[in-house]
Structure 1
Amino acid sequence: MPFRIFFCLLLLIVGASALTSYFVSHSIRSVVVTTMGAWLLLQVAYFASMLFLIWRSSRAQSGRQKAKRFDHCQEGRYQSQAYHEGNK
């Protein structure tokens, strides 16, 4: 998710949380605590999603490298067999 979309969603969720908290409690202190809690929770969720995407990307990349090494080993095996059969 691009940062711009994330930031708009973050403001929307935090604003809705602040309004809901104010209408329920009629306390500015409660609004500040709830808003900071929502802000912190969303930041942690965004950071965790970025870590997950990095992990998934690195895992996919290492899988491709293993496949390339396996293909290269198989090519070497076929070439050596053809070489040995040709020298008989």
Structure 2
Amino acid sequence: MPFRIFCRVLQLVLCANAITVYFVSHSIRRVIITTFGTSLLLQVAYFGSVLFLVWRARCNRRAVERTGQRRCDSDHS
């Protein structure tokens, strides 16, 4: 997922989260804390997915160097 799309999705999720928390709790403090926590969680998930993609690409490169074919994943995406 390109970074620009990630930022837009992050904004949508955070706004929806803030609105939902506010309507449920009627507390601005809880909205700020929950939105901050959600933001951190989503950023950690994005960073983890980038690390996974780097690991998978490295694994594919090693397989190609050893045997001349892909072995780490079944699809070529």
TM-score range for the pair, normalised by the shorter chain length = 0.7 to 0.9
Asked which structure has the greater CA Rg, the reply is 1
Deviations 1:19-43 (A, max 9, x none): 0000001100000011001100000
- For normalisation by structure 1, the TM-score amounts to 0.76
Q: Within 5 A, what are the aligned runs for 1:30-49?
A: 30-49=30-49
Q: In the aligned structure 2, how far is the partner of 1:9 from the partner of 1:61?
A: 31
Q: Report runs of 4+ in structure 1 exceeding 3 Å deviation.
A: none
Q: How many residues align?
A: 68
Q: Quick check: which one's helix share is greater?
A: 1
Which structure 2 residues correspond to residues 2-41 of structure 1 after superposition, within 5 A?
Answer: 2-41=2-41
Return the TM-score normalized by structure 2.
0.86
CA–CA separation in structure 2 for the residues paired with 1:15 and 1:53:
28
